[in-house]
Amino acid sequence: MADEKEPITIKKYANRRLYNTGTSAYVTLEDLAVMVKGGENFVVFDAKSGEDITRSVLAQIIFEQENKEGQSLLPIAFLRQLIRFYGDSMQMMVPRFLEQSMQSLTSQQGKMREQMTQAFGVSGFGTLEDQVRRNMEMFEKTFAMFAPPFARGQAKPAGEKPADDKPASAGGEMDDLKRQLDEMQKRLDKIGKE
């Protein structure tokens, strides 16, 4: 609904200060992050050249959020894969694919939150974890289809072992799953306290 309104104009000056023309006040990247989380739409222009620099400012916000303790969303394997697509023939498909994936995740977000609330614990978070795992598998499979034959063996999905490694024992897998569930429960407890 916020998209229907005219976006707020933010001007970035040479001294790197950001000025919100809607409130006539200087703002920080953190303020802009709060605006995004609140569904407010804005565009950022370079005050001198008039160039639209919204994309680079949003990327800065992501960088700032990723550097906060316990806030990272982007797995290292995902970032590496994303970097590989720059300059690749598949580059033009990536933005649309990511946009559709995020729309799908957003549309399911309410349902997942409801399930987590009902389950209040491990089983609710498992639903979210399963959805994320399915989305990542879909992402990896989609791009594996388009990878040239000589590049297919280069990058392995997170957690996949080389062919000569022995598979992990069932006990080791269970211990790993228990550790992951404990970490997820700690995160849920931390979110609940906030």
The verdict on 62 and 82 lying in the same domain is no
User: pTM to 2 decimals?
Assistant: 0.55
Domain boundary among 66, 99, 119: 66
CB of 185 closer than 8 Å to CB of 125: yes
Q: The domain containing residue 16 runs over which residues?
A: 2-66
Low-confidence residues in the chain, pLDDT < 50: 1-3, 122-124, 155-158, 162-168
| Residue 171 is assigned to a structural domain of this protein | no
Tens of pLDDT, residue by residue over 83-130, are 999 998 888 899 999 999 888 888 888 777 777 777 665 444 555 667
Q: Which residues of 84-110 are buried (b: 16+ CB within 10 A; e: fewer)?
A: bbeeeeeeeebeeeeeeeeeeeeeeee
Residue 170: inside a domain: no
Domain presence at residue 169: no
How far is it, in rounded angstroms, from Cα 153 to Cα 172? 26
